Structure 1
Amino acid sequence: MAEIGTLALILLATAVAGHFSARLNFPPVIGQLLVGVVLGPAMLNWVKPGSLVEIFSELGVVILMFIGGLESDLRLLKKYLKPSLLVAVAGMIFPIVGAYLVGQSFGLNHLENMFLGVIFAATSVSISVEVLKNMRQLDTPEGTTILGAAVVDDVLSIIVLSVLVSFAGNKIAAGNARPLWMSLLLQVAFFIVLFVVSRWGVPHLMRLGERWLIPVAETVMALILCLGAAYLAESVGLSSAIGAFFAGLAVGQTDFRQKVDREIEPVGYAIFIPVFFVSVGLNMTMTGLVEDFGLFAVLTIVGTLTKWGGSALGAGVAKFNLNSSSMIGAGMISRGEMALIIAQMGFNAHLLSTDNYSAVIGAIVVTTLMAPFILRAEIKHLAKNNQNSN
């Protein structure tokens, strides 16, 4: 019964924190993350990581990634495929190299350095979308390129993370693990099966679900596909998030996309997703942040500049002018929930040590808070230059 009370406290605190975050024009995820820090061992010690929190947290990641796949617009990606690819790839290479070198300079091991790179290569476009909407830039070439690049970025980040998790799993489990070649073979087979089922099976399964004489039948079928894909991904050594994400992409290409999205969001955002973000904060300690302040500060600076500069360079290669390229780069800075998901999954897979966890989470939070202000400034700068040129 104590765990039920803990859950009630978490939901109350995240609702209040999310409300005030939104009032201050910050993403609600920041408030939810801070709830974990305040209620957890770092400060009040009222909530501790336990079985219920861990289960709800894992389901939160799966549902969040499913929604991310569901809302990814592949038609948009096809339209701006070339600039989106250039922005996404350049915007990943620079942070991966930059974060790797930062980790190396602070004495981290090779695997942990690689993982730092994956964390800071990720982009959370949801925060940038709000800024673009408010400033009426969402349907411009720059705004569309940011959205398309974010889709590519998410897919590439999840795939690279899954490879690292698989490698770490083999390394940690030692003799009990499958040979690496067998794991890679199973993972390739998984993607082939996933493609075939997504292309031809999912539309039929969704139509089958529509005939069930139960409430929200289509959403139940979508959740079965989501959880099934997440389970299969985990069983071949990949992260459950990648299965959920691609299941969301598949369902998103059917006629049931809007209905499922409308019905599944309340399930996720009412309970499971807030618990996930709180669980991230529960593992963070103020002592760890103070002790690793140097790593936190350098990661924040390098993470911001490499993502901004790398994405801007990719946009420049795609024939955008200097001001437009800078705006696109600014739109890719935000890490938000995507980086937090990767950090937490890597922490659970022993890719990130407890000693450095707080510094990494702190850097993600600060870059996320900075991103909307930088993007707003870049949009105004671009508009001013366009007026002057006219």
Structure 2
Amino acid sequence: MNKSFIEHISHAFETPLTNSVLIFSLILLIILLAPILLRKIKIPGIIGLILSGVIIGPHGLNILAQTDAVKLFSTIGLLYIMFIAGLELDMNEFRKTRHKSIVFGVYTFFIPIAIGYPVCYYILGFDVGASILVSSMFATHTLVAYPVVNSYGIAKNQAVAITIGGTILTDTAVLIILAVIVGSSQGQLDQQFWMRLTFSFAVFLAIMFGIVPRIAKWFFQKVESEKTSHYIFVLFIVFFAAFIAEVSGLEPIIGAFVAGLALNKFIPHSSALMNRIEFIGNAIFIPFFLISVGMIVDIKVLFKGPEALIVAGTLTVVAVCGKWIAAWFTQLTFKYSGAQRQVIFGLSSAHAAATLAIIMVGYANNIIDENVLNGTIVLILITCIVASIAMESASKKVVLAGEQDVVEEDKDMLRDEHILVPIANLNNMEILLDFATMIKNKKSPHPVTILSVVPNNELAEANLKKARKNLDSTAKYASGSEIEVNMMATIDYNIAGGISRASREIIADSILLGWPSQVGIIEKMVGEKTESILNRTDINIFMCHFGKPFVSNDKITLVCPPMAEDEKGFSYWLTKVGQLAIELTLPVVCIANARSESAVTSFLKKSKINCNIRFVNHTDWDDLASLRGYISDTDLLVFVSARAGEVSYNREFDGIPKKLARKYENNNRILIYPSRRPTSVFDNYDEVSAMSTNRGYTRLQRMGKGLGSILNIRNRNLPGSTK
């Protein structure tokens, strides 16, 4: 019996492994350990996974074979890489610097090809198809060094923006060339081929950019609450696009890339859906693909003779030189500094995802041999290391030159930003939390604080338990979206007082509130809760009504009243509106006078906030009804108001939440009250009894109006009244 058991165990571990559960376990172990171990010696994780595949593959220790399951996961990973490449492109950045991006794109596309083709054809002796394929591979680049850009805070430097924009052009052009090369390898490049390719490509683009966005917008609007369905829908679009591309005579990776571009504006970069897409891709599919690439590599070929080493060395030198010359030409054209040239080179010199995708297709169609495949792996290893080192050095130079993103006077405020979200209605919780995540500064170490205030009465203890239970459901949603939150539940005699006290305890920079609901006669006389919060705090307040998903919005209409630029919170709220526009990929239409327009333009330029904005000059601010012509039902309305007594305050702003709710009930809307400078130390005692003269006078006026309305109602009901 012992012998049979030992035979059973030994059979299970026979190589290559055949047990699917054991194969999957081994793959997961490699995905877990390879990046952790190689991070210690500063080698990119992508290289570790490829090397792991080399070791366990058929040409290594022969632990794993190229089974159908491995090939399936590899295909999914390849498509996923190209999809995320299209999805993560910042279209606002591209539009802002599109002319310079086009110039850089031309340089970084044609220069490597112009150098690479003669080298491949005349020196390495490749045929025409292989020479074009390999030289076009030199034109691609993967933003492996982008995390370095983020860590040094230079992501909004123009050199970074044009490099990212150039990625769209080079990757798209190379993928089209790939379709032509694959087509030519399977037949003749006759007139019929070109007509068929042109027609199928046109139909494919019409489906992807004409039909798919409409379906996606409808789906995200109608199936708003089913978060799992959103991810499944996105996966369906990716693989359906890959299938359509294949039917059209194009490569499936082109379909996946175009699917990313088509869905780009519907999936905000800080959204829970984006987090799920990246998480599952980076955790399973993409590592699986990288390991499978390593399994194809036969490292022994490099030692069989000088040919493989010559190919690997030549490809690497051409790849690095081509990208450096393209960066140098870009520097000369736009008069950039040496540090900016090095930034462009560092970002564009790494060859990884797109390069792998192209070479794998070429290898599968027998256009290139294993020497080129192995040489490409060496190229990827060296260029990723060179790019990381170059980017690290360039980023330090840019920072020392004072060209980092954050405006100096706002640096500390943004870095230590703390957002408070009081929750009264659980139905509003998810979208308010999503909104907080979109506008929150990514460098702030503080979590978003979720607050529940319970009235201090005989049911306080029971209500507090209920509030904590509600906060637990909020915590589950936040953890599922990887949103870092801090939960607070407190008891207070006054809800507004509790919110005000909590905001001071955590030193909040802003409070995000749901839209104020209808109030009764007592609240009208004594003071509404939202107004009470305004009076008790000096920080930025955002009142939000999101009745529809953000995907239903076509643009952001920003109403900026005269002298809003003179408020203390001007830079804060404008930064947040710009950030929201970038996240949602929406244009901004700013309604303002000439002075405010100048201030907004100047701040956005100084802060390097690259949102797509245009201005509408407006002068009649005493009649809010005159704004109606600028606003449609599909707009996200952002209205900047002010507290009573502040410099930009207008009498027309009295009761503005109610006016906006009545006139723009179909719109998603945000009402902003900018932070103000504290007027007196005695304002801190508002919670007890002390109020400024203006506030007290306002309250008396309200009470008088309330009593007057009650008396009028009573007079109407008196016998003999003619009213």
Aligned residues of 2:363 and 2:369 also touching (Cα < 8 A): yes
Aligned residues of 1:91 and 1:310 also touching (Cα < 8 A): yes
RMSD, matched Cα: 2.5
- 1:301-316 residue pairs with structure 2 within 5 A? 301-316=317-332
Offset from partner CA, 1:31-53 (integer Å, 9 cap, x none):
11111111113321111212111
Higher relative contact order (CA 8 A, sep 6+): 1
Q: Report the structure number with the largest CA radius of gyration.
A: 2
Question: Given the superposition, is the C-alpha separation of residues 261 and 166 from structure 1 closer, same or farther in structure 2, using an over 3 Å criterion?
Answer: farther
Aligned residues of 1:14 and 1:35 also touching (Cα < 8 A): no
Partner of 2:131: 113
Partner of 1:282: 295
Partner of 2:569: none
Match of 1:245 among 247, 257, 270: 257
Q: Establish whether residue 269 from structure 1 lines up as the match of residue 286 from structure 2.
A: no
Match of 2:177 among 147, 151, 160: 160
Query: Matches of 1:70 and 1:359 in 2, distance apart?
Result: 29
Instruction: Letter of the 1:119 partner, please give it.
Output: M
Offset from partner CA, 1:83-138 (integer Å, 9 cap, x none):
2222222112121122222211111111001111122211111x221111222221
What SS is found at the alignment partner of 2:62? coil
TM-fit CA distance, 1:27: 2.3
Q: Establish whether residue 202 from structure 1 lines up as the match of residue 219 from structure 2.
A: no
Q: Which has the higher strand share?
A: 2
Offset from partner CA, 1:230-251 (integer Å, 9 cap, x none):
1100111111111112212222
- 1:72-83 residue pairs with structure 2 within 5 A? 72-83=89-100
Partner of 1:13: 30
TM-fit CA distance, 1:59: 0.7
Instruction: Letter of the 2:320 partner, please give it.
Output: T
Instruction: Letter of the 2:299 partner, please give it.
Output: M
- How many pairs are equivalent? 380
Match of 1:299 among 315, 322, 328: 315
Query: Matches of 1:146 and 1:21 in 2, distance apart?
Result: 28
Query: Matches of 1:161 and 1:233 in 2, distance apart?
Result: 13
Aligned residues of 2:312 and 2:379 also touching (Cα < 8 A): yes
Offset from partner CA, 1:326-359 (integer Å, 9 cap, x none):
4312321111222112211221122222243211
Q: Equivalent pairs: percent with the same residue?
A: 23
Question: Given the superposition, is the C-alpha separation of residues 265 and 188 from structure 1 closer, same or farther in structure 2, using an over 3 Å criterion?
Answer: same
What SS is found at the alignment partner of 1:229? helix
Match of 1:146 among 160, 163, 169: 163
Aligned residues of 1:56 and 1:276 also touching (Cα < 8 A): yes
Offset from partner CA, 1:185-233 (integer Å, 9 cap, x none):
212221222221245343223334436xx56111111111111111100
Aligned residues of 1:11 and 1:274 also touching (Cα < 8 A): no
TM-score (structure 2 length as normaliser): 0.50
Match of 1:136 among 153, 156, 170: 153
Question: Given the superposition, is the C-alpha separation of residues 49 and 207 from structure 1 closer, same or farther in structure 2, using an over 3 Å criterion?
Answer: same
Query: Matches of 1:305 and 1:17 in 2, distance apart?
Result: 30
Aligned residues of 1:29 and 1:277 also touching (Cα < 8 A): yes
Moved over 6 A (4+): none
Partner of 1:102: 119
Partner of 1:187: 201
Question: Given the superposition, is the C-alpha separation of residues 25 and 83 from structure 1 closer, same or farther in structure 2, using an over 3 Å criterion?
Answer: farther
Instruction: Letter of the 1:87 partner, please give it.
Output: F
Partner of 1:51: 68
Q: Give 5+ residue unaligned stretches, structure 2.
A: 1-17, 404-723
Instruction: Letter of the 2:260 partner, please give it.
Output: G
Query: Matches of 1:368 and 1:347 in 2, distance apart?
Result: 22
Aligned residues of 2:320 and 2:349 also touching (Cα < 8 A): yes
The more displaced of 346-355 and 359-368 is 346-355
